[in-house]
Amino acid sequence: MSNRPYYIAGNWKMHMTRAGAAELAKALAGALKGGRHKYLLAPSFTLIETVAPILKGTNIRLGAQNMAPEEQGAHTGEVSVLQLKDLGVETVILGHSERRHSYGEEDALINKKVKLALAHGLEVILCIGELLSEREAGRAEAVCEAQTVAGLAGVAAADLDRVVIAYEPVWAIGTGKTATPEDAGAIHAFVRKVIARLYGGDAADRIIIQYGGSVKPDNAAALMAKEDIDGALVGGASLKVDTFTPIALFG
């Protein structure tokens, strides 16, 4: 067993409007009260102001799903770090595969966002993960290594304690196909070695690496039982109290 806390996060993606979000946040605040792990909910931008007061004073952090690479200015349609902080956001998910593959975000852009978020005191969940074609070509480790190295380029060791890595194999996201605990655990161990090379063994021991991709109540415990899997980034199953609660309270 590591000394790392388990960190279980719900990425609500582009779901819900305010009434449903308030209801779900309230229900989860109640259900996770007393839970022993670290928790986060990341609603859409338009729902953050609704969810913020509900999570305030609870054991659930408030997150956002993306952020602009600039502090402010003429960037139509973007949302800035200052705007997120103004609403009480503590954590931002960056480099999600849906941002990488549906909206063309590349490593250099993601790295700019990572550094900006850290400079403003936010916690960052940096998502990495290979496509099915990359896995089949035997390149899963190389892709994850490249995304990790590029995503963290220029990040100071002192800031690494505010970085969480989320390994989300793209082929497992929203497909119902979960990586086996063995396959996921192997990538987690590999990424931890990459962190050790970049920042030293102590930093690698401390960094939290979440798994994401069709995490459900019936597979969460087996995944998180793996030494290097320190939590979950949950999409679909985070949208219902009945499915998120057992994942969050596992163990």
Least distance in angstroms from the C-beta of 66 to ligand 13P: 11
Is residue 168 among the annotated active site residues? yes
- Which x/- pattern, by CB under 6 A, does the window 30-59 give for ligand 13P? ------------------------------
From candidates 188, 212, 223, 230, binder to ligand 13P by CB under 6 A: 212
What residues does 209 pair with on adjacent strands? 165
Q: Which of 8, 143, 165, 173 binds ligand 13P (CB under 6 A)?
A: 173
* Residue among 8 and 215 whose Cβ is closer to ligand 13P: 215
- Give the range of 115-123, 130-138, 187-195, 235-243 binding ligand 13P by CB under 6 A: 235-243
Measured CA distances, 192 to 119, 141, 208, 233 (Å): 23, 12, 9, 17
- Of 30, 53, 174, 200, the residue at the interface with ligand 13P (CB under 6 A) is 174
CA distance readout (Å), 181 to 135, 222, 226: 16, 6, 7
96 is a catalytic site residue: yes
User: Under the criterion CB under 6 A, does residue 218 sit at the interface with ligand 13P?
Assistant: no
Among 35, 151, 169, 213, binds ligand 13P (CB under 6 A): 213
Sign of CA dihedral 140, 132, 209, 62: positive
* One residue of 126, 234, 247, 248 binding ligand 13P per CB under 6 A: 234
Per CB under 6 A, 11 contacts ligand 13P: yes
Give me the catalytic one of 96, 98, 105, 130: 96
Contact between 183 and 224 under an 8 Å Cβ cutoff? The reply is no
Residue 108, phi then psi, degrees to nearest 5:
-65, -40
Q: Produce one character per residue of 42-78: b if its CB has 16 or more CB atoms within 10 Å, e if not.
A: bbbbebbebbeebbeebebbbbbbbbbbeeeeeeeee
Buried b (16+ CB within 10 A) or exposed e, 108-128: ebbbbbbbbbbeeebbbbbbb
For the annotated catalytic residues, the residue numbers are 96, 168
The residues that touch ligand 13P, with contacts defined as CB under 6 A, are 11, 96, 168, 173-174, 212-215, 233-237
